[in-house]
Chain A
Amino acid sequence: MRSPFKTFLASGNVFIWGCAAGVSVSLLMVFGLLLLIVINGLGYFWTSNVVDLTLKSGQHVMGQLAGREVIPRSVTPDRPEGKGRLRVKIGNRDINGLDFKWVNEDQIVSQAYPADAALLERREWGNMYGRVKAVYKGETLQVEGNDAGWIALAPLISATNDLHQQIARIEQIEIGSINAELEQARLKTRSFELGKERGSLNDLTAQIAAAESRYQAKTVELDALRTQFDEYSVLMVDANGQEKQISVGQIIRALHPNEMGLLHKSWIYLTNVWSVVSTEPREANTEGGIFPAIFGTVMMVIIMSLVVAPFGVLAALYLREYARQGVMVRLVRIAVNNLAGVPSIVFGVFGLGFFIYAIGGTLDTLFFPERLPTPTFGTGGILWASLTLALLTVPVVIVATEEGLAAVPREFREGSLALGATKLETMLKVVIPSALPGILTGLILAMARAAGEVAPLMLTGVVKLAPSLPVDGSWPFFHFDRKFMHLGFHIYDVGFQSPNVEAAKPMVYITTLVLIAVVVLLNCTAIVLRNHLRKKYAGSVL
């Protein structure tokens, strides 16, 4: 008789538990990762209270708490054993130089949340924490004192925010269109010189002169607005009494977080979320919004889909319905399948060599000689990036479409042909509609893959900061030669190339959150759509 323990071992149950642990760890990794990103990403929008720490040295540290840890061994040899330290976002980068500060807990004498602690969101230099001391108009004192200054500040900020929008509109739209016109005229002049353009050079010169005078007028207008924009200034004082005068034009929003109720904070939270997804980045991408990156990602994925869908379906139709099935088609099928496993950077290299240098370079010499040596299509752009990703994802569409076509029963085709329909009619009216779930699934999976790829884009046209979107109001509205921003590249760039990684981290988490949301949403849509269409066709056709 064996001991019960030995039978237990022989039964292999321990190993089964080991296998279960494999699943547990995998699941933990998935949910842990999602949780990490969601907490870090969503936490950023919440306006936490402003704390005022009084230290043993008499110094004050004011800011928002950003974490706590046990002091690691490597920090200092004479650290207090087992004690913790707090990470405080102290802002005031123009005064302190750093956004974050570690404060050892044993140095803290008291901790307070003063109601009048103000948080100023600024266009430059990050947040400011402190109190209002006075408000000036030019050099003259308008209001003095914390409360009175605060009350006077609110209408001024909303006025300068309006002005800011006005200035941005003039700079981007009005001056932008004048610049585009000037550029056009200059290019025409250049191609006139190259002997390609007919017409009168005098007209062009006159056109340039007219546009330039309009430009001058706009500049004068802008100067006036800018003076107005910087008219008021506020004198802030930080927790240690250091004063700093800043222009009201620099302030986006002023808050007293410690006075705000839950409802108010929730409202601020929502406006924060909205401003991130709808505005442009500031401060070397570490603050502001990610709208251009979202726009670039979506537009690139749309162009890619427009290319990949017809070609992928065409290739799959050929392989499954028109080609003679044999060894050759089987080999091609394996090759197409395996292409999906080829590293994405390889496609990027191909895109760079083929689309940009070979095709783009040729297009430039043929159609845009007046712009050379500045390349138009001979450099990275959204079109080339989309085409590269289309190549990368075409196997996904082909494989999924083929699976869809293979699933359509033979009887459908035979029935249709027997009723006298041609092969084309059979395809269009019977086979493709039945295979539509497969095709759409493939397309959506391709879009999800394309939305998350970064490596090939780095070679084919993504940039850290694009001056203008690929779609705008100036002719021809769609600018396929323009470089663009992308969520995935934004993560790489802000997280790894920015000068102040610590301050940039929240931005990276938010971008990650948006990207994950896009990708997971697309994948879930693919799954739901597949199931839904499968049911629908299963009901109607069979």
Chain B
Amino acid sequence: MHVHAPLHSITHPSTSLTWRRIFDRLAQVVITMGGIAVILSIIGIFVFLVKEVTPLFFSPQGNQTGLVAGAPPPTALPQSSLVGMDEHQELIYQLIGGSDRQIRFFNVRSGAPIPYNIPTDLANVHVTSIARAVGTLDRFALGTEDGRLIPVTIEFAASFEGVRQVVPTVTLGSPVQLAPAPERIIRLAYQPTERGTLTAALTDRGSLWYSISPFDHPPAALTGHGSEPVTSLIFDSRGETLLVGTAAGNLYYYNVRDDAEPSLIEVVSVAPSGTSVTALSYLIGDRSLVIGTSAGDVSVWMPVRQTQESQITPLRQIHRFDAHPAPVTGISPSLRDKGFITGDAQGNLFVHYSTSAQTLLKLAGNQGAIRTLTFSPKANGAVALTGKGELLTYEIHNPHPETTIASLFKPVWYEGYEKPEHVWQSSSGADDFEAKFGFLPLIFGTLKGTFYAMLVAVPLALLGAIYTSMFMHPNLRAKVKPTIEIMAALPTVILGFLAGLWLAPLLERMFPAMVAMTVVVPASVAITATLWHYLPATIIRRLRPGMETFVLIPIIVGTAWLCLGLNQPIESFLFGSDYKAWFATHWGLRYDQRNALVVGFAMGFAIVPIIFSISEEALSNVPRHLIAGSLALGATRWQTLVKLMLISASPGIFSAIMIGFGRAIGETMIVLMATGNTPIMDWSLFNGFRTLSANIAVEIPEAPHGGTLYRLLFLAAVLLFAFTFLINTIAEIVRQRLRTKYSQY
């Protein structure tokens, strides 16, 4: 230090030196931090994408949040109480049998009863059973001791004046006499429909009456179930079927579509002998029926058509869920999706999702048996009534019930399907639509498009690379290589547009000519080569290496032109009259204009320059002295190529193909524009497909932020990211090792 200090002070004034040092240090800090920040933000992309996806696979959360003292349901009457809550989860209500205050409201938070004047019409009515209409939360019917039915509607009006105030309104319909004689109604099913109000009532004398009002027919006695005690009754929301569950574990399936006599269609044994059907519920859309039994089993049944032609659609068990340890006492469906909750006689509450056949959440109870329960209108909470008359409120946080890893990648038995299948259909106009999130058709489509593109690109690019690196004069090569490489810079939207609007219609018209070309063009090349061989050596020698390309261009154009001109004769020769009809009759294939063939050409075009450029480089970098040695030992150019160059450059060629593959996997615009974007699984050349990337482009504008579809599209992005990143990394490592190997020579 002693030596240096005076030297510095001579050459620079010390203040300036200090500043320069400060600037230098500052720059180092800024560049280091900036550089790390840029690199971290690049890594951050992946982290962010994954973070957006993970909520899909979070386990649902839920817990009991409150306990309100309600009225204990009369033990002698099995169906004498119902509960529910408003959509803001401010109020809960209880409908209760008896003749005093049959409708009660409570504040969720304080548990205090809300003063409410019961309609005078209910003053002297003894209610013995209560039913809720399927597909609604607010429409009920009260069955009375003297065989009458009273429709009830409970609605909530929310006002926002500083604090939200929810005010209930109760509307009573006019009473209807159900049973011909004044008998006590102990079980009830009630369904208002466009045709009229359907009711089914079981009296304490064991008779089951069906009626539709306004009355055209007197109430009909249903006797199909014989002497088996009826344990549950339900209509579907359109009022087409009536299901009667019995203590013998049988389900009686009545058709009530015709206003006249209900007809018994089918009897299904839905529970093992000795167990009874204890609860029935339709999921939204009326296609899936949930059955709960006294053994605690919970299963979903659907009418399944057995063959394409058959009209009979017997009920079949589709999904089984985790069983309850005690008899199932209540089932309540969600009004938003295919989820439902079940309660049992030990007080357990389970949350299930039908499509994925998953029991999502199990909330153990310690308050005694659950008598009835209801999912909240937004499916984010529940209220249950225990035998002691306590109203338990639950909070359920389950934003993405539709998806599990299994439901994404395994076949799923969807409503209306004959067997489990892979389907992607994310949305539809109907409210009761079952979202079908099977990723496999998209992955299949991605691979199909890539496969056909590689089929076109790999031979073309490799042949070109071999020729350019090995047989072409360096001057010519310096011009040809950038020309082909500039193709890589072409925006893919242009290729997509040409594929969709120019190539697709052309190919449709000229398909036979194209088939002929695949044979005729290579043949013409072979013939030219043979003829060339017999040319005088003096002429051949005068040509520069690489002229073959330019000799071939007019020949290829000529033969292609010839094929196109002879399209119709070729079609007649190969396919009789019409090639579409030929394929339809012989191979059962349908020709769509925008198909895999078109994408194969267009996407192949896009990846030719990538594969060409990288493999050409690998071939050119094979050490020259090896080639010279091989040729000096008497090997022909071709032998040198096959036995030496291809083998030593094979890792480079492999990585070229991998990188081309990675590019094709993620290509969006070409597939978006040149296929029909239908997510089907079919290897046929003549129909389209939908890829992961095109699916994102098609669906993300309609995916609400934070919803299941939104996150699934992020999952698609993560898959694409991870897959291409992996492929590119492998290719890159292979390439670097090859470079080290070459540098040893």
> A: which residues have CB within 8 A of B?
8, 10-30, 33, 36-37, 70, 72-74, 82, 311-312, 314-319, 321-323, 332, 334-339, 341-350, 352-354, 357, 391, 394-395, 398, 420, 422-425, 427, 448-449, 451-455, 458-459, 488-489, 491-492, 495-496, 501, 505, 508, 512, 515-516, 519-520, 523, 527
9 A-B pairs whose Cβ atoms sit less than 8 Å apart in the complex: A315-B38, A323-B35, A343-B720, A344-B668, A345-B666, A345-B720, A352-B700, A391-B42, A452-B490
CB within 8 Å for A14 and B489 given contacts A315-B38, A455-B693 = no
Do B552 and A17 touch across chains, with their CB atoms under 8 A apart?
yes
Do B724 and A342 touch across chains, with their CB atoms under 8 A apart?
yes
- Complex alpha-carbon distance, A344 and B509, angstroms: 33
Contact code string B23-56 (vs A, CB < 8 Å = 1, else 0): 1100110011011101101110100110010000
B291: Cβ under 8 A from any A Cβ: no
Contact of A12 among B462, B556, B637 (CB under 8 A): B637
- Complex alpha-carbon distance, A540 and B48, angstroms: 47
> B: which residues have CB within 8 A of A?
11-12, 20-21, 23-24, 27-28, 31-32, 34-36, 38-39, 41-43, 45, 48-49, 52, 459-468, 470-472, 480, 482-484, 486-487, 489-494, 496-498, 500-502, 509, 521-522, 525-526, 528-530, 532-533, 548-553, 556-557, 568, 571, 577-578, 580, 605, 608, 612, 636-639, 641-642, 659, 662-663, 665-669, 672-673, 693, 696-697, 700-701, 705, 713-714, 717, 720-721, 724-725, 727-729, 732-733
Residues of A within 8 Å of B665, CB to CB, are: 343
- Complex alpha-carbon distance, A30 and B637, angstroms: 28
Residues of A within 8 Å of B482, CB to CB, are: 527
- Complex alpha-carbon distance, A9 and B102, angstroms: 99
Do B36 and A349 touch across chains, with their CB atoms under 8 A apart?
no
- Complex alpha-carbon distance, A403 and B621, angstroms: 19
Do A19 and B666 touch across chains, with their CB atoms under 8 A apart?
no
**Closest A residue to B472 using CB positions:** A23
**Closest B residue to A323 using CB positions:** B35
Residues of A within 8 Å of B672, CB to CB, are: 455, 492
Do B553 and A14 touch across chains, with their CB atoms under 8 A apart?
no
Residues of A within 8 Å of B568, CB to CB, are: 70, 73, 82
**Closest A residue to B636 using CB positions:** A11
- Complex alpha-carbon distance, A71 and B688, angstroms: 27
Do B638 and A24 touch across chains, with their CB atoms under 8 A apart?
no
- Complex alpha-carbon distance, A334 and B725, angstroms: 10
Contact of A27 among B36, B484, B525 (CB under 8 A): B484
CB within 8 Å for A516 and B490 given contacts A21-B525, A458-B697, A508-B501 = yes
Do A496 and B36 touch across chains, with their CB atoms under 8 A apart?
no
Do A454 and B493 touch across chains, with their CB atoms under 8 A apart?
yes
Residues of A within 8 Å of B43, CB to CB, are: 335
- Complex alpha-carbon distance, A183 and B725, angstroms: 47
- Complex alpha-carbon distance, A336 and B532, angstroms: 49
Chain A facing B: main interface SS: helix
- Complex alpha-carbon distance, A187 and B490, angstroms: 45
**Closest A residue to B696 using CB positions:** A345
**Closest B residue to A320 using CB positions:** B35
Residues of A within 8 Å of B717, CB to CB, are: 345-346, 349-350
- Complex alpha-carbon distance, A315 and B28, angstroms: 12
Do A343 and B52 touch across chains, with their CB atoms under 8 A apart?
no
- Complex alpha-carbon distance, A11 and B21, angstroms: 69
Output the residue of A316, A323, A420, A455 with the most chain B CB within 10 A: A455
Known: A30-B487, A345-B696. 14 other contacts (CB 8 A): A12-B637, A17-B528, A21-B522, A22-B461, A22-B464, A24-B552, A28-B553, A30-B484, A30-B486, A82-B568, A318-B39, A346-B717, A422-B24, A452-B491
Output the residue of A22, A37, A312, A398 with the most chain B CB within 10 A: A22
Residues of B within 8 Å of A338, CB to CB, are: 724-725, 728-729, 732
- Complex alpha-carbon distance, A492 and B484, angstroms: 25
- Complex alpha-carbon distance, A332 and B39, angstroms: 8
**Closest B residue to A314 using CB positions:** B34
Chain B: minimal CB distance from A426 (Å): 9
Residues of B within 8 Å of A512, CB to CB, are: 494, 497-498
Residues of A within 8 Å of B721, CB to CB, are: 342-343, 346
**Closest A residue to B43 using CB positions:** A335
Residues of B within 8 Å of A354, CB to CB, are: 45, 48
Residues of B within 8 Å of A515, CB to CB, are: 491, 493-494
Do B525 and A495 touch across chains, with their CB atoms under 8 A apart?
no
Output the residue of A13, A15, A26, A516 with the most chain B CB within 10 A: A26
8 A-B pairs with the lowest CB-CB distances in the bound complex, closest first: A318-B35, A343-B666, A12-B638, A452-B491, A22-B463, A20-B548, A19-B467, A17-B529
CB within 8 Å for A488 and B491 given contacts A21-B556, A349-B714 = yes
- Complex alpha-carbon distance, A255 and B535, angstroms: 59
Do B462 and A33 touch across chains, with their CB atoms under 8 A apart?
no
CB within 8 Å for A19 and B494 given contacts A14-B529, A29-B605 = no
Chain A: minimal CB distance from B607 (Å): 11
CB within 8 Å for A322 and B467 given contacts A13-B638, A23-B549, A347-B45 = no
Do A423 and B28 touch across chains, with their CB atoms under 8 A apart?
yes
- Complex alpha-carbon distance, A496 and B20, angstroms: 60
Contact of A349 among B548, B556, B667, B696 (CB under 8 A): B696
Chain A: minimal CB distance from B703 (Å): 10
Residues of B within 8 Å of A8, CB to CB, are: 530, 533
Residues of A within 8 Å of B492, CB to CB, are: 452, 454
- Complex alpha-carbon distance, A26 and B458, angstroms: 12
- Complex alpha-carbon distance, A448 and B488, angstroms: 11
Do A520 and B471 touch across chains, with their CB atoms under 8 A apart?
no
Contact of B497 among A13, A72, A491 (CB under 8 A): A491
Do B669 and A315 touch across chains, with their CB atoms under 8 A apart?
no
- Complex alpha-carbon distance, A24 and B471, angstroms: 13
CB within 8 Å for A27 and B480 given contacts A19-B464, A512-B494 = yes
CB within 8 Å for A424 and B24 given contacts A12-B636, A19-B464, A455-B669 = yes
Do A336 and B39 touch across chains, with their CB atoms under 8 A apart?
yes
Residues of A within 8 Å of B521, CB to CB, are: 21
Output the residue of B23, B39, B494, B733 with the most chain A CB within 10 A: B494
- Complex alpha-carbon distance, A311 and B667, angstroms: 27
- Complex alpha-carbon distance, A435 and B521, angstroms: 48
Residues of A within 8 Å of B498, CB to CB, are: 33, 36-37, 512
CB within 8 Å for A495 and B501 given contacts A12-B637, A73-B568, A334-B733 = yes
Residues of A within 8 Å of B497, CB to CB, are: 491-492, 495-496, 508, 512
Residues of B within 8 Å of A496, CB to CB, are: 497, 500-501, 673
